[in-house]
Amino acid sequence: MSFRQPAAVVVAHPGHEVRIHGWLERERPVVFVLTDGAGRVGQPRIAATVEYLKRFEMRPGRLFGQLTDTEVYRRVLAREFDSFVRLSEELAEGLVAAGVGSVTGDASEGYNTTHDITRLLTNAAVELVRRGGGGEVANYDFPVVFRPDHCPAHLRERAAWLHLDDEAFGRKLATAFEFYPELAAETRDALQGQGHERVVEYYNLNQDAHAATDLTGLDMFRVECLRPASHADPPFEFERPYYESQGERKVAAGLYGEVIRHDEHLRPLADALWENVERKG
């Protein structure tokens, strides 16, 4: 499948883009990143993304690492939804300025609130572009926590699939371990069922009902799947998002003061973003 050019990627954290490195090498998209990737430990990863983009001749978008996760959490807990509305408008302006014809980005998986917020922002921005006369922007997402080939059956024919050969796959793995060694090691450990508070706690990457291949271990990253996305899609596939139970554990441990919840925070945020789209339309 060919993508309308220029293409763009919108991710919550530096490093997510490597999940679709083969596609990035082919399309050379503009890359938008919501946060600096510091997380709770306070070690930003955005500088690594800058070097990564230089290496592969890609350019950063207008929205590029201005926020921390802590600030995102503070804003959503305080229900400062206007600030996210402004971010969606800034992202839309960046897509228009770059002349973007197709965009892909983080899927909403119920694992991490910033991931899911980034998907809400992307969906709103794409619709703002369309209603503002900027043309149609094809909208896709890709799994960030699930297996790379995670794709429900009803989406498979409309999804874009890349199957990397040995050379391309070797470049992808080498790039991941060079620029984002901690993330690459975390994924490797999760595949082996190791690590504390890793992806393996919630998602078993080797037992996925929506997996489109039978690849195992790191070989599953030979596949890159970009799925059609829409604001009307369900936010995630579980009755209760993982970030709620994880937040409860962190509150109990004294690390957080309050839990971000879907019904109390993210659903009203989604409504605020879409109300703004309707007003602009």
The domain segmentation of the chain, as residue ranges, is 7-280
Identify the helix (H) or strand (E) that includes residue 9: strand 7-11
Whether the CB-CB separation of 33 and 86 falls below 8 Å is answered with: no
* Cβ atoms within 10 Å, residue 86: 11
Rounded to two decimals, the pTM is 0.93
- Alpha-carbon dihedral angle through residues 71, 248, 230, 82, given to the nearest 10 degrees: -30
CA distances from 30 to 19, 44, 163, 232, 265 (A): 16, 20, 22, 25, 30
pLDDT of residue 237: 64
pLDDT single digits (tens) 265-278: 999 999 999 999 99
Residues 119, 124: Cα–Cα separation, whole Å: 9
pLDDT single digits (tens) 104-148: 999 999 999 999 999 999 999 999 999 999 899 999 999 998 899
Taking residues 225-229, report their average pLDDT: 96
* Cβ atoms within 10 Å, residue 9: 25
**Count of residues in the chain:** 281
Residues 106, 92: Cα–Cα separation, whole Å: 16
- Per-residue confidence band for 186, with pLDDT thresholds at 50, 70 and 90: confident
- Per-residue confidence band for 196, with pLDDT thresholds at 50, 70 and 90: very low
Percent of the chain with pLDDT over 90: 73
CATH class of 7-280: alpha beta
Residues 225, 146: Cα–Cα separation, whole Å: 11
The candidate with the shortest Cα–Cα distance to 74, out of 274, 271, 257, 262, is 257
More confident residue, 265 or 192: 265
- Per-residue confidence band for 49, with pLDDT thresholds at 50, 70 and 90: very high
Q: Which two tokens stand for residue 58?
A: 């890609």
The candidate with the shortest Cα–Cα distance to 87, out of 115, 109, 67, is 67
- Per-residue confidence band for 230, with pLDDT thresholds at 50, 70 and 90: confident
Q: What is the mean pLDDT of the chain?
A: 90
